[in-house]
Amino acid sequence: MPQAIIAPSILSGDFAQLAVESQRMINEGADWLHVDIMDGHFVPNLTIGAPVVQSLRKHTNAFFDCHLMVSNPEKWVKDFAKAGASLFCFHIEASQDPGKLIDEIRSHGMKVGVAVKPKTSIDVIFPLGHKIDMCLVMTVEPGFGGQKFMEDCVPKVKALRERFPELDIEVDGGLCLETIDQASKAGANVIVAGTSIFKAENPKEVISTFRNKVNT
Ligand code: DX5
Ligand code: ZN
């Protein structure tokens, strides 16, 4: 199984100080920064777009794991590549032609992720597993931080890991010290966490616990 990658979600940070918050997370031991892009259409919330990612890029070389919770993700590939996104993760539910979109993202020099909402069957990912760098298995309904981890999504992680031993499998939503075991045992290696890292008294300790749970 691939090594642990811990990706704090800057959605839980102070948006007025994104550069400071990003650097703080890197100093605490984060591997990636998870950037939640919401369009108020695919999900009932609005966040940031490529211009903010582009501004943030000027302040850090960190790996930007961009999670696009948007309708028509095709529309944004060029902008996010230009903005300095490292990985472009789109929702399978939002894409008309995932195969084409995967090629398009790669041709713009970004890594490719495909996300599935809790109610979407993981079977839809099986034909794409060899073409992508990462699959994001949502463990809450996308749209907001601070929600409760949905245990019934865990078997999807396990089914994916059985078929793709080397794939980066990311979990996102409600990850904390109480839920990490279930996710890591099922085979998730990329751990996104907003609330449990940003609001922790000692984020470094939380990050390092997550890492140890995945790597053992
Ligand atoms: C939710 C976002 C998550 C969110 C996770 O739609 O995709 O990345 O920030 O936040 P927590 O860890 O608080 O559930
Ligand atoms: Zn996310």
Task: State in Å, rounded, how far the first CA of the chain is from the last one.
Answer: 10
What per-residue confidence (pLDDT) applies to 209?
A: 98
- Residue 99 marked as a ligand binder: no
pLDDT digits (tens, 9 = 90+) for 122-175: 999 999 999 999 999 999 999 999 999 999 999 999 999 999 999 999 999 999
CA angle 149, 152, 158 (to 5 degrees): 105
Residue with tokens 């396990």: 158
How many angstroms separate the alpha carbon of residue 124 from the centre of ligand 2?
20
Q: How far apart are CA 208 and CA 17, in angstroms?
A: 24
**pLDDT tens digits, 177-200:** 999 999 999 999 999 999 999 999
What is the distance between the alpha carbons of residues 215 and 175, in angstroms, rounded to a whole number? 16
67 marked as binding residue: yes
Encoded tokens for 20: 């400071």
Any known ligand binding at 209?
Answer: no
Report the separation in Å between the CA atom of 173 and the middle of ligand 2, taken as the mean of its atom positions: 7
User: What one-letter code names the amino acid at 147?
Assistant: Q
Ligand 1 centroid from CA 8, angstroms? 9
Ligand 1 neighbours (beta carbon < 6 A): 9, 11-12, 34, 36, 67, 140, 142-147, 172-175, 192-196
Ligand 1: atom nearest CA of 143 is: 6
H helix or E strand, kind and range, residue 154: helix 154-163
pLDDT band at 105 (very low <50, low <70, confident <90, very high): very high
Using a 10 angstrom Cβ sphere, with 0-12 exposed, 13-18 middle and 19 or more buried, the burial of residue 35 is: buried
Q: Is 172 one of the annotated active-site residues of the chain?
A: yes
Q: What digits encode the pLDDT tens for the residues 13-59?
A: 999 999 999 999 999 999 999 999 999 999 999 999 999 999 999 99
> Tell me, what's the pLDDT at 1?
86
Q: For 57-69, write each residue's pLDDT tens digit.
A: 999 999 999 999 9
pLDDT band at 76 (very low <50, low <70, confident <90, very high): very high
Q: Name which residue sits closest to atom 7 of ligand 1, judged by CA.
A: 142
Burial class, 201, CB count within 10 angstroms (exposed 0-12 / middle 13-18 / buried 19+) = exposed
Cα 34 to middle of ligand 2, angstroms: 7
Mutate to test the pocket of ligand 1, among 33, 36, 46, 91 (most ligand atoms within 8 A of CB): 36
* Helices marked H in 1-134: 18-27, 50-57, 77-83, 98-107
Reduced to 3 states, what is the DSSP secondary structure of residue 112?
A: strand
Given a contact cutoff of 8 angstroms between Cβ atoms, the answer to whether 140 and 147 are in contact is yes
Query: Is 29 marked as a binding-site residue?
Result: no
Structure tokens at 151: 């245990």
Query: What kind of fold does domain 5-215 have according to CATH?
Result: TIM Barrel (3.20.20)
Confidence of residue 73 (pLDDT cuts 50, 70, 90): very high
Q: Locate the domains of the chain by residue range.
A: 5-215
d(CA 22, CA 8): 9
